[in-house]
Chain A
């Protein structure tokens, strides 16, 4: 998953903790192997390498694709799993130059979820288009693991996949889980503290990946409609919701609202925290 992952188990039983950890790792690995676009031969690879052909989806993949479509509609096109191809021209590592408008224009015709065919648990991509579940995969994995563990195990468990977090329930002592939000300026140090009793939190944004172009600062989340990053984005957004998936979508959309991020988040009525 390309980020540090951990499971915190509130129990004194070491054998149980090992069992729980194994269960969590098993499920995380299963999801990663199935939906990662870096692995050859898996379902996503098949979908992305069968231009013009229908690929059958199993029940789980079908649910994810259906969800991606619903998010695309709700976000008026801002959340789009076909926008991954923009990463070919955008690298936020400080070494690559900002792409030209012409380079962006060349890719735009191959972006847009409404261009792919999806019905009756089958998906067909036109030539040149790709899907990438990176925007929801990690949060989905957190929720799946949380659900699995909550049904089977009594202790309070916290699942943290690279900053996307959910809890199965409260700690034994009934105290809340305390989660420190990293200060973008001083990594490894918490700049603020969230207390969780239930639900999940997700963080979008990476303070270390951004571009300074002509004196303006752009976040690294790209707008699928323009092909460009959004000006005036917060450096990171953390959102709390009942599920990690919900929190992740709202956090991503908040980043795309640029300087209106806080206004957007207030309207959604979820607990949130913006770093600027």
Chain B
């Protein structure tokens, strides 16, 4: 005999009387997470980043997430120019002022300070029993940079085999308004030259499109493995408007290798990237957790990179934990990366001396310690040491450059404090 009515409302009311439960829905609270990160490169950039995250359950299994991030950066960053045996003078990014760099020192642009504010919103809800959808929106603003982005992803659980599939897409639009206007790529930045330095006062734009496919597979009660593949296309103004490439004297003699001109870099208008990521996570019988991941990235700028990340969380008594971890990263140089250009060569169409696009390796060693025993109140503190190095004495070095460090190491210390609570 078919029952054609929906019984759950009346049934629920009846069982509340049976069990003595209040019939109102439980109050939902905000899950708040706060963090402050301090990042400091030796003699270079220092950043402080406070973050506030808020999460609330709207309906059964449906969540709203908000996040506010503030980044405050100060310090100096390598401009891409090479060191010289003489004092050098450079223009500041705005072109209105100059700064001097001592002999035999890596030129750093010392006017590097900026504050960035970012807000993101996420809405995560189940749309069918085994399908979840996540929609997100992101906006970010800095002195010379504005970005808005939207993303959507779907996760499908196939319960029978404890497998989840994810597909997602992200679109980002950026507006770049460099201080003093964007310099004409490959033009000279020599402050004494004439005709005057060419600048473009219009704002520059770029778009980034991302696509992601992922699979998460539960292997057994205590372990899982995850694979992701992502594709990314960036299109538009991809240059760093403040980075320079040195043109050096190629003539044999006392000035060989001395910079004779500094030009602004130029990168291609598009960048296609693809990445493969895999991760394995296992909880051991003593409740410690071991995690290892590997990522391979490849793009049409000639950069290939590998990242390996290993961490081990030791469960201590009473809800405390300690988690050491190491990460190793290496990348090959972009095909248009040069330590410097020779004045006897034609200037290539695309060229950069930005160390971040060069051949480099990094190691990060860190430890995290915290308390996760109580969901109403948990915290952690993280300390990491980051070292980046590259080829300081490449074979292409000539003249005085043979004695200079053309790829100085970057050392940084990172301290982060997290605190989460319910409100």
Contacts and interface: CB of A to CB of B under 8 A. Distances in A.
Interface string B3-21: 1111110111011111111
Contacts of B344: none
B159 interface: yes
B281 to A, nearest CB: 12
B86 interface: no
B7 A75 contact: yes
Nearest to A223: B1
B15 A246 contact: yes
Interface string A22-62: 00000000000000000000000000000000000000000
A78 B1 contact: yes
Contact of A260 (B2, B10, B18, B372): B2
B316 to A, nearest CB: 9
A268 B18 contact: no
B207 to A, nearest CB: 36
Contact of A172 (B4, B17, B129, B372): B372
Contact of B11 (A154, A250, A256): A250
Nearest to B11: A246
A67 B8 contact: no
A76 interface: yes
Contacts of A257: 2-3
B29 to A, nearest CB: 12
A74 B318 CA distance: 48
Interface stretch (A86-94, A105-113, A139-147): A139-147
Interface stretch (A114-122, A124-132, A189-197, A210-218): A189-197
Interface stretch (A1-9, A96-104, A237-245): A237-245
A67 B14 contact: yes
Interface string B34-61: 0000000000000000000000000001
Contacts of B7: 74-75, 250, 253, 268
A123 interface: no
A197 B124 CA distance: 15
A187 interface: no
Nearest to B7: A74
Which among B5, B19, B374 has the greatest number of chain A C-beta atoms within 10 A?
B19
B319 A12 contact: yes
B34 to A, nearest CB: 16
B8 A268 contact: yes
Contacts of B21: 147, 243
A241 B7 CA distance: 12
Contacts of A147: 19-21
Nearest to A77: B1
Given A78-B1, A140-B19, A172-B374, 20 more contacts: A66-B17, A67-B14, A74-B11, A140-B18, A147-B19, A154-B374, A173-B375, A191-B160, A192-B159, A193-B159, A198-B26, A241-B8, A243-B16, A246-B15, A250-B8, A250-B11, A253-B7, A260-B2, A268-B8, A273-B159
Interface of B: 1-8, 10-12, 14-21, 26, 61, 129, 159-160, 162, 218, 221, 317-319, 372-375
5 contacts: A12-B319, A78-B1, A245-B18, A245-B19, A253-B7
